[in-house]
Amino acid sequence: MYEPTRTASRRSFLAAAGGTATVGLAGCLGGGGGLDELTVAHMPIYPDLQWYVMEGEGYFSKIDAEVSGQEFGNGPDIVQALGGGDIDVAMFGIVPAMIAIDNGIPARVTAANIREPMGIMAEESFHETFEQRGGDAFAAWEAETGDPFTFGTFPQGSVPDVLLRYWLRDIGVDPGSNDSVEIIEISGASSVWQAIANDQIDGTSIMEPVPTIAQAEGSSVTMLRTAAEVLPGQPAAVTLMSDAVRDSPLAAQFLEQHVRATEFIGEEPDATAEHVNEGIGMPVDRARNALDSPLSNFITDPTEITDATRVFSEFAAGNDQTNEQLSTDQTFDLEVYDSL
């Protein structure tokens, strides 16, 4: 059965903080020796939208277990909770998922939540120079303004950060040795937006709803490249399951409802916007606009992101976030989705 648990409060996406609410022991054994409870970690972010649809539409009633949600403000806290055995299913970024697996936590990614959800944004005055000069545009920017071009995005090793560094490397720019480019760490999408609004950064790598908010507010920081143009199949938030869940019928049951939620998002955008408002706190009109964004590519099939995940595995190992570059087999369990 599904028992809806509104973890903490319905905090605004733009003010989301890192608290959690304890909702009980994870994965309690039922009388028949199977799991009768599922604790699902999730974050109040767009790439976890399936959670809010599944919760809001009552889809968990189709799962033969009591499903409870635990809301977190960042991936590292979810990794810690996974390590403590408090979480059965986690909906969070591909990089912390790989860190959890590398740390020996018995779990695998069984589904993707979204594909290509990031965008590289930059000051409009930079766009034309970049299209003409490519990576050399950053030196031109510094010569004209007297300051390096400053990107502000999530901490190093995060999904937005990896996409940004991959793109810079692809255009021949090494931010570690190029004085014309600076990357500063900013925690939280709301803080990234404030940095844009206060003219503290010249560009960013970020997901919705920040691009939609920037457009609505008339910001001069606009989309330069979408993830689809930079790294087709770029992964972001995924659904990771413990081995105990993967070895039970609950794994397929959960993914069946995940598929329903993905289809609902595509077919019922107006109703989905209401779930965004209720779950994440974004006004309905802006939430609806964000669903039309080229960054809103909600999926379930994990094979759509496996190829590009290799790039993130490379960066995770290079940043010493993982001890080795994880293979596809080490990261994913594709059989649960295939069984559907």
Confidence class of residue 106 from pLDDT cuts 50, 70 and 90? very high
Question: What top-level class would CATH report for the domain 13-116+233-339?
Answer: alpha beta
Confidence class of residue 18 from pLDDT cuts 50, 70 and 90? very low
Confidence class of residue 163 from pLDDT cuts 50, 70 and 90? very high
Within the chain, all domains assigned CATH 3.40.190.10 are found at 13-116+233-339, 118-230
- Nearest CA to 19 out of 3, 1, 43, 49 is that of 43
Give the β-pairing of 181-185 and 89-93. unpaired
Contacts of 98 (CB under 8 A, 6+ apart): 312, 313, 316, 321, 322, 326, 331
Contacts of 327 (CB under 8 A, 6+ apart): 313
Confidence class of residue 2 from pLDDT cuts 50, 70 and 90? very low
Candidates 3.40.190.10, 3.30.830.10, 3.40.50.2000, 3.40.50.300; CATH matching 118-230: 3.40.190.10
pLDDT digits (tens, 9 = 90+) for 68-98: 999 998 888 999 999 999 999 999 999 999 9
Confidence class of residue 19 from pLDDT cuts 50, 70 and 90? very low
C-beta of residue 19 within 8 angstroms of C-beta of residue 73? yes
- What is the H or E stretch that residue 288 is in? helix 284-291
Looking at per-residue pLDDT, the higher value among 27 and 227 belongs to: 227
C-beta of residue 134 within 8 angstroms of C-beta of residue 171? yes
> How confident is the model over 286-297, as a mean pLDDT?
95
pTM of the full structure? 0.86
